[in-house]
A = this chain, B = another copy of it.
Amino acid sequence: MYVAIIGYGGVGSGVAELFTKNHDNIVKRSTQAQLELKYILDVRDFTGDPNEHLFVKDFETILNDAEIGIVVETIGGIHPAYDYTLAALKAGKSVVTSNKELVATKGYELLKMADSMNVNYLFEASVGGGIPIIRPITQCLAANEINEVAGILNGTTNFILTKMIAEGMSFETALALAQENGYAEKDPTADVEGHDASRKVCILAALCFGKHVYPEEVYTEGISKVTLEDVEYARDWGGVIKLIGRAARVDKDRISAMVSPAFVPKNSQLASVDDVFNGILVRGDAIGDVVFYGRGAGKMPTASAVVADVIDCAKHVERKKMFGWEDSDKNYVVNYLDVETALYIRAVADEPSTAIKDAEKAFGSVKTLTREGAPANEIAFVTPRAPEKALRSKLEKMQGIKILSSIRITEY
């Protein structure tokens, strides 16, 4: 059996490298007599690359070669990754990918095509990099009804927040450092504004709850507005600020799905997930909470997950793995304002003590927070839990304050 890689960037070249490095054991574990890399597709030239002889420029070469049973798509983005994937599946080839954007956007359609052609479309690397998460959810927790999934799904923003929390670095300085270290792109929007995490929430929600969730349905807030003042108040509250992606069952027919900064209690397993690491918590009715931790990005960790999927495709060549989800309708994901939460609020007040009294009156009670060196007119407090809409409506009615920050509070 032969494999082709399309897209020879960081992940694609990592796949080729790992495939060569651990070749004998990979073939043994695939249960195939033979499993070889035959083509690499990339528009660029890689003269002098150890795999130079495998490069092709035309996808048709791969598509029309009946010996190619598995295509590794590591191009990223929607086009041409989508077109190549669909064509490969239609031609009866299994496809393995790390492309979270494509799975989050077209996963339902591509899985349906894979199903109808009796081949596999696998994407363990699309969430949590190399961390085993998709198989554990679909197989190991198969006896559970999963009620919630939540995690630190983006290494770049976690690196920035860790620098802010541990070293008091400003957001801007930490972002610049992340770019210097190669953890953040030149245009960091997709990471910093939460879009990358949002795509991963789509995939996790589909796996946990059985229906496709589209990126535009996930309410998404990034970390660019998180300040060092908020970090200090979170510490006083007893926790840290993390960018949390989460999805939860609301009732039989509906779920919530959201990405936003959140206060996480210090004793939570997610609170100690630092730097570029990822951590994903799954809550099942029998197992309780389980947490998966590791490198959520990077060339070799991601390649580790891709090659594991290649091995699985090779093992399941005669019999497809049962794996997929249904499409969803418009009302499947509830509005984020209908989700229950507690809120941390930081504001400037004309009369701080009056404002706190007003807040206590409006919310029943609030937990006030303090930090060293706060201006005399700054207040900070945490509300009780209620649907966010109700909290926002009460905040809007409060007189003589200007809200500077509001951050959700998690319970795990």
- Taking Cβ atoms with an 8 Å cutoff, the residues of A that contact B are 14, 18-19, 21-22, 25-26, 29, 31, 124, 130-132, 135-136, 139-145, 267, 269, 272, 274, 284-295, 300-301, 303-308, 310-312, 315, 318-319, 322
Contact = CB atoms under 8 A, between A and B. Distances in A.
Contact of A311 (B14, B22, B142, B286): B142
Contact of A22 (B136, B144, B300): B144
Contacts of A287: 130-131, 294-295, 300-301, 304-305
Given A269-B293, A286-B307, A319-B319, 19 more contacts: A22-B145, A22-B285, A29-B142, A29-B322, A131-B287, A131-B290, A132-B132, A132-B290, A135-B136, A139-B308, A140-B308, A141-B304, A143-B306, A143-B307, A144-B304, A272-B272, A288-B300, A290-B294, A315-B322
B322 A303 contact: no
B294 A288 contact: yes
A141 B145 contact: no
A272 to B, nearest CB: 5
A397 to B, nearest CB: 41
A141 B29 CA distance: 11
Nearest to A321: B315
A74 to B, nearest CB: 14
A94 to B, nearest CB: 16
Contacts of A274: 267
Given A130-B287, A269-B293, A284-B304, A135 B139 contact: yes
Contacts of A292: 290-293
5 contacts: A29-B142, A132-B135, A143-B308, A287-B301, A290-B292
B135 A322 contact: no
Scoring A145, A286, A306 by chain B CB atoms within 10 A of each residue's CB, the highest score goes to: A286
A187 to B, nearest CB: 27
B140 A124 contact: yes
A139 B312 contact: yes
A291 B272 CA distance: 12
Contacts of A286: 14, 18, 22, 130, 300-301, 303-304, 307
Of A18, A294, A305, A315, most B-chain CB atoms within 10 Å: A294
A389 B144 CA distance: 48
B26 A142 contact: yes
A312 B295 CA distance: 28
Contacts of A303: 143, 286
Contacts of A124: 140
Nearest to A300: B286
A358 to B, nearest CB: 39
A3 to B, nearest CB: 12
Between A18, A140, A144, the greatest number of chain B beta carbons within 10 A of the residue's beta carbon is seen for A140
A256 B26 CA distance: 24
Contacts of A267: 272, 274
A24 to B, nearest CB: 10
Given A272-B269, A287-B300, A311 B132 contact: no
Contact of A143 (B26, B143, B284): B26
Instruction: Name the residue among A142, A269, A291, A322 with the largest chain B CB count within 10 angstroms.
Output: A142
Nearest to A143: B307
A305 B310 CA distance: 25
A304 B143 contact: yes
Contacts of A140: 124, 132, 135-136, 305, 308
Nearest to A30: B142
Contacts of A306: 143
Contact of A301 (B139, B269, B288, B311): B288
B132 A18 contact: no
A22 to B, nearest CB: 6
Given A136-B135, A136-B136, A293-B269, A18 B143 contact: yes
